[in-house]
Amino acid sequence: MKRALQSKNKFKFVDGSIKNPGPSHHLYDSCVRCNTTAFGWITRTLSQEIAQSIIYFENALFRISDLLQEIHSIKQGDRSVSAYHTKLKTLWEELKALRETPSCTCNVKCICKFANTAKRNKEVGYVIFFLKGLNDQYNTVRSHILMMEPLPSISKAFSHALQQETQLTNPIIQKSIVLATTNDTANNWKENFAGRGGGFASRSRGKSFGQGNTSNSNKVCTFYGK
C-alpha cells in the first residue's frame, strides 16, 4: 500500500507531511480531493469489518479515540487466551500506526533516553490492558504478573496466561492437582488423628488400670472379714 501511494505521489497525505490547509486556501479543494482518493485506496485494501469501522472517519483522531475506547473495554469472554490476545494485538498495532511514539527533536544528541522511556510506558500499558481483560479464573496469574518488578513484556505475560489456561483446560493436570491436594489433606488428618488417638488410648488404659487396682484393694470378703 505504501508503494502504491508513493507511486501516485499521495503518501505525504497519509504520513502527515502535508498539512491540511484552511478552507480559504486556494489549494484546499485539491488537498481534499487527494486526501479522499488516498482514503478510498486504503479502505479498499482493508477487511470488511475494519473498513466499516473507519469509513465515516474524516481523520485519524476519531479513529484513535475509537480504538482507545475498544482497547479499554475489551474482555476475553468466551475467547481462548490466544484469540483474545490476537484481537487486542490487532487493535493495539492499529493504534501504534496512527499514534507514533514521540521522540526527542533537539539538535544536540539526546542523552536522557526519552524515546526508550516512552516506548516502555506504551509496553506497560499494553500489558495492563491485556491482564485487565482476562477472565476471573486468571486472577492468580494476573496478580502474580502485576507483582513482578519490573513488569514483564507482553510476550512473557501472554506465556504465563497460556500456561494457566493449559492447567485450567487439561483434565489430566486438573485431576493430578486434585489428587495431590486430597492426599496431602488425608495425610495431615491421619497424622493429627494418630497423635490424638494414641494419647487418648494411653490415657484410657492408664485410667482403667488405676481404677481396677483401687477397686480390688477395697474389696472385703464377707466370710473371712478380710
> Among all chains, which residue has been given the C-alpha cell 497423635?
195
Domains of the chain, by residue range, sit at 1-45, 59-194
Burial class (CB in 10 A: 0-12, 13-18, 19+), 66: middle
Inform me whether the pLDDT recorded for 182 exceeds 50.
yes
Contacts of 99 (CB under 8 A, 6+ apart): 60, 64
Band of residue 191 on the pLDDT scale cut at 50, 70, 90: low
Q: How far is CA 214 from CA 29, 86, 177, in A?
A: 120, 84, 55
Collapsed DSSP state (helix, strand, coil) of residue 202: helix
Amino acid 140: pLDDT: 92
Helix or strand or coil: residue 183? helix
For residues 196 and 145, the model is more confident at: 145
Burial class (CB within 10 angstroms; exposed 0-12, middle 13-18, buried 19+) of 122? middle
Residue 163, pLDDT > 70, answer yes
C-alpha to C-alpha distance for 99 and 102, rounded to whole angstroms: 9
Per-residue CA distances from 78 to 86, 133, 134, 135 (Å): 14, 12, 10, 9
Q: What is the pLDDT of residue 209?
A: 45
Q: pTM (2 decimals)?
A: 0.54
Question: Are residues 14 and 38 in contact, defined by beta-carbon separation less than 8 angstroms?
Answer: yes
pLDDT per residue as tens digits for the range 102-144: 777 777 777 777 778 888 888 999 999 999 999 999 999 999 9
Average pLDDT, the chain: 75
Q: Which residues contact 27 (CB under 8 A, 6 or more apart)?
A: 21
Section 40-65 average pLDDT: 67
Candidate from 11-25, 66-80, 176-190 with smallest mean pLDDT = 176-190
